[in-house]
Amino acid sequence: MADSMCGPSNGAKNLLAHTDRDRTLHQDRLVNAPQTGPGAMAFEGFQQGGPVNAGFEHGPLLPDMNPAALHRPPMAMSPAPMAARMAAEHHAAMRLESPATGGVGNQAWVNEFAGMKLGNGTPVQAAPIPSLAMNHPVVQQPMLLPTTGVSSFAPFGVQTGMPFQTYQPNLAAPIAHNQLPGQEVAAQVESAEVKDAFADLFDQYEQQADQLTEHQRQEQEFEQEQAKWMAEHGPQVLPPTAEEMVAINSEMERIADEQEQEEHARRRENADLARAAEDILRAVSGNNSDKFKHSNFLELMRRIAAAEIVVNEENFIDADTGEKIETGDLVAEAPSDNNSDPVAGENGAPTAPPPAPASA
C-alpha cells in the first residue's frame, strides 16, 4: 500500500499498522467466534484466553448472538467498517498502554478497566450514554464486548477519554444498528409506523393528485363546452347579413327607447318632486324661526327644488357627483336649545317636579 511504502507520517498510521498485525496474529481465535463483520477481527486480541473467552464462548447472556441475528442489511452496516477500523485503533492503543498487552489471563486488566472512570469520575457502568446498547446490562460489562462486535466498542469509545472522543459520532451509528431483542422489536414497530406514515402521506398525495387531475379535467371540459357554445351562439367570424343587421338595429333601438323612457320617467318624477318641494317651502315661508332655518327636511326641500339633489332608485343622490346623500346631515348646526326646562314650553313651563310615572 501507498501508506506503507511512504512510511508512517503520524502516530495514527502506526497504530493502524499495529492493529493490522494484531488481527493477523489471532485468526485461530475466530474459529468459534461469531462473525459480525469486518470489525470483529479487530478486537480478538483483547479476548485471548482466560475467563473472558470462556464467558464469551459459552455466552448464555446473548441468545441473539448468532450470525443471523447480527446480520444487518448492507446499507445499515455501511458505517460499520469505518467504526470497526476506529475501534481497532482504539483497542490497539489501549493495549500498547496496558501492561497486560500480549498477556494470557488479563482479568486484572479487565478489572482495572472496569474500574476506570471518566474524566468526571463516573464509573464505566454508569456512563450516561443515550444509547440502547449502553442501557443493556450485558453491554455494560466489558468482558462481553467482543461478542457484540463493533457495537461493543461504543463504551470504550466514549469512556476512554479525550484521545478517542472524536470517534464517538462515528461509533454511534453502528451502535444504533446493532440492537438487542427488545430494541429490535421496537425498531420493527417504529419501522412499521414509519411505513404506515409514509403510506398515508403517499395516499394523501395521490388523492390530491387525483383531485387536481379531476379539477383540470373539469376545467378542460368547461372550456370545451364554452368554446362549443361560443362557436354556435357567439359572434360569427362572418359579418352579419342584412337581415341580421335589421334585427340587431331593431333590438338596439328598442333598448335605447326603453332607456330613454326610463330616463324621462326619472326626470319627470324628479321634476314633480322639485315642484312639491317648492310648494312646501312656499307654505312654510312665513316661519322664520331658528327651527325652520336649521331644519334638515327643509334644507332637503331647498336642494331638491334647486335640482341639486335628485332621487335615484331608493336614495337621494347629488345631481352633480352622484354620491348618496344622508338626509339627516344636511344642516351642520342644530338649533341651539336655550330652554332649560325639560319639557320646555315656549311660554315657560313650570319646573315643579313631575308626578310619579305611570305604574306598571
Tell me which residues touch other proteins (CB under 8 A): 273, 283-284, 287, 291-292, 294-297, 300, 311, 313-316, 327-328, 334-335, 337, 339, 341-347, 349-360
DSSP string of 114-173, one letter each residue: HT-B-TT--BSTT-----HHHHSTTTT-GGGGGGGGGGGHHHHHHHS-GGGGGGHHHHHH
Identify the burial level of 94 via C-beta atoms within 10 angstroms of its C-beta, where 0-12 means exposed, 13-18 middle and 19 or more buried: buried
The residue behind cell 332649560 is 340
Q: Are 37 and 84 in contact (CB under 8 A)?
A: yes
CA distance 34 to 44: 11
Nearer to other proteins, 77 or 298 (CB): 298
Q: Are 72 and 178 in contact (CB under 8 A)?
A: yes
Nearer to other proteins, 225 or 269 (CB): 269
Nearer to other proteins, 101 or 327 (CB): 327
Give the chain's radius of gyration (CA, Å): 51
Nearer to other proteins, 169 or 354 (CB): 354
CA distance 273 to 258: 22
Nearer to other proteins, 73 or 286 (CB): 286
Minimum distance from residue 260 beta carbon to other proteins (Å): 22
Nearer to other proteins, 243 or 313 (CB): 313
Nearer to other proteins, 234 or 335 (CB): 335
Minimum distance from residue 349 beta carbon to other proteins (Å): 5
The residue behind cell 326626470 is 267
Minimum distance from residue 290 beta carbon to other proteins (Å): 9
DSSP-derived letter for residue 335 is P
SS (H, E, C) 307-334: CCEEEECCEEEECCCCCECCHHHCCCCC
Minimum distance from residue 357 beta carbon to other proteins (Å): 5
Minimum distance from residue 297 beta carbon to other proteins (Å): 6
Minimum distance from residue 353 beta carbon to other proteins (Å): 8
CA distance 40 to 81: 10
Nearer to other proteins, 138 or 311 (CB): 311
Nearer to other proteins, 246 or 334 (CB): 334
Minimum distance from residue 230 beta carbon to other proteins (Å): 39
Minimum distance from residue 323 beta carbon to other proteins (Å): 15
Minimum distance from residue 311 beta carbon to other proteins (Å): 5
Closest CA to 129 of 107, 150, 152: 152
* Alpha-helical segments (H) within the chain: 2-6, 11-25, 50-58, 67-70, 74-77, 80-97, 107-114, 132-135, 153-159, 168-177, 181-233, 242-283, 290-293, 296-305
